[in-house]
Structure 1
Amino acid sequence: MNSLNVGIIGCGNISGIYLRNIPAYRGLTLRACADMKPEVAQAQASRHGIEALTVDELLAREDIDLVVNLTVPAAHFGVSLAALSAGKHVFSEKPLAVDFEQGRKLVDEAEARGLHLGCAPDTFLGAGGRLARNLVDEGKIGRILSGTAFLMSHGMEHWHPDPEFFFKPGGGPILDMAPYYLSTLVNLVGPVQRVVAMSRIGYPERIVTSESPRKGQRITVETPTHVMSLLEFASGAQVTFCMSWDVWKHSHPAIEIYGAEGSLRVPDPNFFGGQVEITERGGDWRAVDSSEMPLGAPNWRSPNWAPDIPNKANYRALGLADLASAVLNGTPHRSSGRLGLHVLEVMHSILEGAATGQARAITTSLERPAVLEDTDAALLWKGLPETASAA
């Protein structure tokens, strides 16, 4: 076997980039998709030349080796557990589950069955994340002492066609966006060992303004939309961490890392490329571009962006290729369920610590993911077919 046959469950907003990118990776063959709305699955299947199945049909298919779980977060646990129980490898969109104990059960189930369980985000494996990791590992900024991480915007209701789940339990900026930042930080700094936090709901109600059937509808907010935390890592480093959907505009870099010998700015962890900026011992900032590295060239843009926003590197499904290589070739599995579980515990500990006002110790730990060398990253990517669709 030189390829895993892939079936996607969940054909919503995020599925388009996976359906476009999966055929561009070695080790993956896209076969089928399923959704609770058959017409949605059929539309994506017709667009990408694959089969549309029911969820039960997809799970029963012996020729599907890897299930990609792109359902809403509340469904992640049930779908992933069913796929593992059917003997399939699983890659889940973030978060691994909305409940930590459910996430632990998924990891245990996969390991008991000898299956691989992966979890987004895989962005830290892109060129920007690899470049930052290389600079850290080369000692360019010395021992990491502290840092900052900021995700601040005004939420999803102005662009997402059905944004309600973002503002309900299981959503919010922590469970939705913090995985990108936490996975990047763990990749650079190592595991988190303790958190303290506070949170609030800035706007008790949101009004959908996106051009969609839900435009004008009101959403009652039931989960914190502004969360501030201090993360203490096992290494001793401390990072100020803020995730907010209550901010109209700001000027904070996504992630800055402060070392004994210099500082490092990491590009937006929601994407795979970008510039890393570094300053050594108080010198001028120096930009190092990752666009010439494998999986770093800008290749995508959102239809919701203003014309002046440049294209971004979007190589989603890299985590699937990483998982497939681990299965087929015995290479390290980097965007793993274990990493997803650690991130899930950190997120829940932030929310619980904010609710109780108490520091929370993190019980899970792991080694930093193995480095993905440029040569190996290049081997995973064979390129997009000319007919690729981003829809």
Structure 2
Amino acid sequence: MAFDIARIRAAYPALTEGHVHLDGAGGTQTAAPVIEAVTDAMRTALGNRSAGNLPGRRSLELVDAARAAVADLLGAVPDGVVLGPSATALTYTLARTLGTTWRPGDEVVVSRLDHDANVRPWVQAAEAAGATVRWAEFDERTGELPAGQYTDLVGERTRLVAVTAGSNAIGTVPDVPAIAKTAHAVGALVCVDGVHSVPHGPTDLDALGADFLVTSAYKWSGPHLAAMAADPARWERLRPAKLRPSSDTVPDRFEYGTPSFPLLAGVTAAVDHLAGLDAAATGSRRDRLRAGLAAAQAYEEGLLARLLDGLAALPGVTVLGSPARRCPTVSFRLAGVSPAATQEALGAAGLCLSSGDYYAYEYFETMRLRDTGGAVRASIYHYNTADEVDRLLTELDTVAAAAGRMAG
């Protein structure tokens, strides 16, 4: 059946303000069921986790429900889901923990296509251990991350390969399963950044070949929390720094402090919301998630094609990269107008986009664009419409025309 965009949009109260939100990569608007779940949890008596009283049991249930929901989203198991405040924080925890097992001469492979949250924690952990960092390079023209290069980058001393499943800068979808296969052939672990990929299609931890997979709920209609999934047996072998009296069980020992129980209620509600994107889908929540996200992916791909065709027709617009597979995210520059000024002009017209490097530090350094402001990013989410894409193209044409008159 057709993707019911009117029904989908009705679930997002913020959309009634009239802004065009084209920066899902920076964070999506929050779905109404998520807002209601968080509010309801905050109205309810909650205590620190304990089986000894009702408020404490409620908190235990909220944590368990969030783990189960994320597990369904990622194709993981609940006991393998570590919850935390952000993807950056979780990746740092993992990097510091794994880094204690590395020795001089060991190697870590990172990618210049990645968000810095899947680069710097590994670089710093390697430096602390005296390990060597090796870099996977992307094609500057296409933005592709060739999987074949990993054959040369990975060797018997490789301990970890970190790679994105979707570039937050230009949308590139690397062949992560092929990269993981190369890494696993020498016994290396693979940490996959799924922050930008998970919102845009069905995800399966095992199919990706990920030993660790991280995602952020605020990129898929939820609150500002994150999760990292792995096989529980993988977590069991790791010993993070922790407070002495805190739980030593998995996955609890990787989570610091008391979690935000109301926000965890929002995580579960966000997953349930995604499971309802396809109103006709049936079966388990995992089945409905796969159906709903597949429907959203097909819808977003149509909008992406419309956007790319429109940008190609605008004079003075340069789109960065042309990967064969991409999340619905595009970075571009407008001749004669800085990215920040372009963003500001579009913002004045009610269009919300990002400019700069969006923490894709190595990408923009390699492209030699950081010193001149990076680029402007348009990132589509399933609540966007063809009319909004057309409005962006119209306003961008207006900005370009004004820049042309000033230059003349």
Structure 2 length-normalised TM: 0.29
Give the structure with the larger strand fraction: 1
Give the structure with the larger helix fraction: 2
Structure 1 length-normalised TM: 0.30
